[in-house]
Structure 1
Amino acid sequence: MNLPPTPDAMPLPAGADGHAHIRAEGVTVTRGSRRVLDDVSVTLSPPRSRVAVVGENGCGKTTLLHVLAGLITPDEGTVHRTGTIGLARQELSARDGETVGTLTSEALAASLAALAALDEAALAMAGGDPAAEGRYTAALDAASRLDAWDAERRVDVALEALGACADRDRPLSTLSVGQRYRVRLACLLGARHDVLLLDEPTNHLSPALVDELTDAIRGTSAAVVVATHDRQLLRDLADWPRLEVGETPARGDRSGASRPRGG
């Protein structure tokens, strides 16, 4: 399945109660004769919702993350999303003209938009607009959830912690796959999204950087889903609930087929 070239950071409006979440119910994805995901339900709501998605390579972990992010529409079931979502895919291409600054700008987009909305509402209130107070309250809530005033500094700190290139003008095409991945991962961690979806996040990281990443994951207030087969990372995250995924036949004999199960 070919996915569209969408940003890794996806800002979405907060819910009516002001809270961010992803809620998937009865999600099923079928490819040909295989049912990759079968009746999966999971709810993520910050702060500190945690789920580790486990299973063999090719069993559907990436598919689940792409469904949660909105890149794949499930064949059955529903997914409701509010808040900002940061997705770290396994691969990161380098399209013409893209630089390290392209990734940092995408990571900071939600924070900068919240601050711009806050400024606009403040000016409207000063001008006597009676409807501006509600917009100001909503913008202030969004900026506060993202800690938008400190976003750029956090990205810089994350870039340094993961040994990533911080030169905003550096073309991504001149970086190795591992270097590009570390830049993107640092941007997502520093942006303070409401929900982080991390697909095999220890790929291309040295043991020392894996430790840095583990500390960052444990320290974030975001809801986090980590899809991984890295046994050391799973041991480090041993207290997290687990969601096991595996392919099942879409039709015919299903005896002995594994089913996703939430922990």
Structure 2
Amino acid sequence: MLNFKNIAIRRGNRLLFSKASFIIHKGQKIGLTGANGVGKSSFFALLRGELHSDEGEFSMPPNLEIAHVAQETPALDCTAIDYVLDGDRELRQLQQQLAAAEQAQDGLKQAELHGNLDHIGGYTAQARASRLLNGLGFSTAQEIHPVSSFSGGWRMRLNLAQALMCRSDVLLLDEPTNHLDLDAVIWLQDWLGRYPGTLLLISHDRDFLDAITDHIVHIEQNNAEIYTGNYSDFERMRAEKLSQQQSAFEKQQREIAHIQSFVDRFKAKASKAKQAQSRIKSLERMEIIAQAHVDSPFNFRFPAPKKLPNPLLKIEDADIGYGDKVVIKNASLSITPGDRIGLLGPNGAGKSSLIKVLSGQMRQLNGELHSAESLNIGYFAQHQLEQLRLDESPLWHLQKLDKQASEKDLRNFLGGFDFRGDKVNDPIGPFSGGEKARLVLALLVYQNPNLLLLDEPTNHLDLEMRHALSVALQEYEGALVVVSHDRHLLRSVTDQLLLVANGKLQVFDGDLDDYRLWLAENKKTGDEPAPAAIASPAVRKDERKLEAKRRNTLKPFMDAVKKSEALVDKLQQQQIELESKLADPSLYQEENKESLKTLLAEKSRIDNALHQAEDNWMVAEENLQQAEKSCIN
């Protein structure tokens, strides 16, 4: 139980929130929301004991194990799986103590420690760490790569896996989905749904919050208040409060009318495809969502494109990849005005590479790419944040685009992205990631593109800005191709889903719930079944033949993996049984000396066999992965 009584927290002279009084009970899953800078991270720091409240009293039971995600990862030489295992601190302590006892040949202490290891699940820890890594997108081969070999984003995934590895009573997660793709987000959502401890989650992903949380702590206007229910429930309750304010009510009605007009237009055009129906349902919920965002500081629209040639962009029979590595074969796609395309697919399958080829950031390996003469692409990717001039201001960046515009007009435009007053002239170096992302989006909107290519546009954006972006994209008249792990954004602004997987680009005839089922089936079988796609019977027949051939090719490799896995399970069970026997104190009496010696020898034999079996299992997994790659190529 976490008890907050009249808590106030300040940073310097600035009051973040005060008079916060509520209780978080064991096992509850709390979403912590509010605009950037209101005190969410300080709230976490209070729980970790890194700062104390300026007023009031915070209390919690002694000896709670609190886990959180480290923000930095040193360039370590240890393997990824060992780094994750370090998250279980008690496991590592017992392993160190056991090594010392074995060195000292202290049989009694060894038996005690083996019993303790068995009690905490220490003999299945390696398998647990491997499952965490796999769920977060790491291959079996990558488990033994040194931490230093991974990029910054993948090291953040390692930090997340290490936090999940901890057998914690309280888990603190601050924007855990920022460095994940959609597949990993779905996996993490399922994992957190099963987490038995108390969860406190900072996230700007609406669907993620809705699926996991049962309470929301919202911080605004120096108040921290708890609401029962998930994020949608919170929005409804907050909307009821805000609708009582006349000025808020009037703005709310304008927003609702705008959204409703779009819903009506979309209904008139929608086919019976699942994703179209899913999008209509999502848009019909927007009335409630709009009510909860009437006091948003963001207000912008995409201007109507000057020209909308048809098609805007066309790619034919193109191979996409790097050097000799082809990630997508024979890709063909024609983008016309009004297209709203969402790209799905596993990490590394080629979604971002496809976006880069469409944007002209990289060339296709072969095939044709045809652009309309009046094509004006608005391309958003995370690396563009790094290309901003840190010593210059938002106003300077906008003036570089339009030297003829008046400062007043540019200030008004930037105000829609919540850059106001002196902020428009401040150098952007100290800006947060969210502020830089907002500025890049502002620059993109100002250029009036007729084709938007967006690669994870919501990273670092808070809920209010995500909502404003969704509303702006809904009325955008040009074409849109988006990659995002934000399912609410995909549901709200796309009506066609394409799947990038198995080296192919094809139509996904389903919605995001179907994609989740496709992922689950993919994980369960270890195969990569093709999704339901629009194709002729002859094409489907050929695909079935190819799939059958692929399964026959992979079957011996899959059988080897299953056999290796079964042997590991068998040896682990034998190991547990031996540990149970060795935990019997009577075994260490003088008259049982020979029995103890026999059991210890058997234990040593099983340990060695298990180590070898785990190595064989890893080799079998790598052989399967190589075989799968050969099938793709």
TM-score (norm 2): 0.31
Question: Secondary structure of the residue that 2:88 maps to in structure 1?
Answer: helix
Report percent identity of matched pairs. 23
Instruction: Flag the structure with more relative contact order, 1 or 2, with Cα contacts below 8 A and sequence separation at least 6.
Output: 1
Give me the CA root mean square deviation: 3.4
Matched-pair contact (CA < 8 Å) for 1:23–1:44: yes
* Pair 1:87 & 2:62 matched: no
Matched-pair contact (CA < 8 Å) for 2:28–2:215: no
Structure 1 residue aligned with 2:124: 150
**226, 231, 242: which one aligns with 2:216:** 242
Structure 2: stretches of 5+ with no match in the other structure: 102-106, 228-633
Alignment of 1:74-113 (within 5 A): 74-76=53-55, 77-80=57-60, 81-89=62-70, 92-97=71-76, 99=78, 100=80, 103-113=83-93
Letter of the 2:210 partner, please give it: R
Structure 2 residue aligned with 1:4: none
1:71 to 1:42, Cα distance in 2 relative to 1, 3 A? farther
How far 1:101 sits from its partner (Å)?
Answer: 5.5
Structure 2 residue aligned with 1:254: none
Task: Indicate the larger mover: 104-113 or 210-219.
Answer: 104-113
Question: Secondary structure of the residue that 2:127 maps to in structure 1?
Answer: helix
**149, 156, 176: which one aligns with 1:201:** 176
Matched-pair contact (CA < 8 Å) for 1:28–1:75: yes
**211, 220, 224: which one aligns with 1:260:** 224
Structure having the higher helix fraction is 2
* Pair 1:191 & 2:166 matched: yes
Distance 1:224 1:26 in 2: 22
Matched-pair contact (CA < 8 Å) for 2:129–2:165: yes
Structure 1: stretches of 5+ with no match in the other structure: 1-20, 127-131, 249-258
Distance 2:2 2:123 in 1: 25
How far 1:157 sits from its partner (Å)?
Answer: 0.6
Distance 2:81 2:176 in 1: 21
Letter of the 2:193 partner, please give it: R
Matched-pair contact (CA < 8 Å) for 2:46–2:53: yes
Matched-pair contact (CA < 8 Å) for 1:86–1:196: yes
Structure 2 residue aligned with 1:55: 34
Structure 1 residue aligned with 2:108: 123
Matched-pair contact (CA < 8 Å) for 1:147–1:192: no
1:40 to 1:98, Cα distance in 2 relative to 1, 3 A? farther
Distance 1:185 1:212 in 2: 13
1:116 to 1:24, Cα distance in 2 relative to 1, 3 A? farther
Structure 2 residue aligned with 1:216: 191
Question: Secondary structure of the residue that 2:41 maps to in structure 1?
Answer: helix
Deviations 1:177-202 (A, max 9, x none): 22011111122223332211001111
The structure number with the bigger radius of gyration is 2
1:40 to 1:56, Cα distance in 2 relative to 1, 3 A? same
Distance 1:207 1:110 in 2: 32
Distance 2:63 2:221 in 1: 29
Aligned pairs, how many? 216
How far 1:118 sits from its partner (Å)?
Answer: 9.7
Question: Secondary structure of the residue that 1:82 maps to in structure 2?
Answer: coil
Question: Secondary structure of the residue that 2:38 maps to in structure 1?
Answer: coil
Structure 1 residue aligned with 2:18: 38
Question: Secondary structure of the residue that 1:151 maps to in structure 2?
Answer: helix
Distance 1:170 1:42 in 2: 44
Question: Secondary structure of the residue that 2:173 maps to in structure 1?
Answer: strand
Distance 1:158 1:96 in 2: 21
1:57 to 1:160, Cα distance in 2 relative to 1, 3 A? same
Distance 1:260 1:188 in 2: 26
How far 1:260 sits from its partner (Å)?
Answer: 0.5
1:102 to 1:72, Cα distance in 2 relative to 1, 3 A? farther
Letter of the 2:108 partner, please give it: L
Distance 2:89 2:144 in 1: 15
Deviations 1:38-80 (A, max 9, x none): 233454554x321111111221111111211222222232343
How far 1:23 sits from its partner (Å)?
Answer: 4.1
Distance 2:67 2:194 in 1: 16
Letter of the 2:219 partner, please give it: V
* Pair 1:160 & 2:141 matched: no
How far 1:30 sits from its partner (Å)?
Answer: 0.5
Structure 1 residue aligned with 2:202: 227
Question: Secondary structure of the residue that 1:156 maps to in structure 2?
Answer: helix
